[in-house]
Amino acid sequence: MARVMFVDDDVDTLEMFKKCVELFGHQAVLAHNPEEALQYAQVQDLDVVFVDLYLCEASGLELVGDLRKICKTARTPVYVLSAGSEYEVEGKLEPAGANAFLQKPVRLQSLLNTISLSLSQPTSVMALGGVH
């Protein structure tokens, strides 16, 4: 079982992700904004984090950078999600500290594969589009 944090300003999206991962025995931690995400990251042991690229208060890439500054999440796999193209973030994922990009809508099997991969491999930044 993994503890998975999802960061998105859309409540329906968060609930959908929660239901999906909980069906397969994982625990979902939901953050509605960057401040909540950073608070959770300081006290929760997280196995993997999914961050929406476009948040109301900040860029998802900025949040990834902030998560990398927290001891508990410095090496936690972090994936950026967006309904846009991966070309929007080309060359920006690795400098921000993100592991990979996943395009929304994310297929359930892709989400589960990403979680499994994150649990089974040492933390490293994957190539752009490395997980779909």
d(CA 76, CA 130) in angstroms, rounded, equals 17
Regarding the domain delimited by 3-120, which CATH topology (the fold level of the hierarchy) does it fall under? Rossmann fold (3.40.50)
Packed helices 11-23 and 108-120: angle between N→C axes, nearest 10 degrees: 70
> In this predicted model, what pLDDT tens digit does every residue of 13-27 receive, in sequence order?
999 999 999 999 999
Residue boundaries of the structural domains of the chain? 3-120
pLDDT in tens, 113-132: 999 999 987 554 443 333 33
The residue length of the chain stands at 132
Which residues, including other chains, have CB under 8 Å from residue 122's CB and lie 6 or more apart? none
pTM reported for the whole predicted model: 0.90
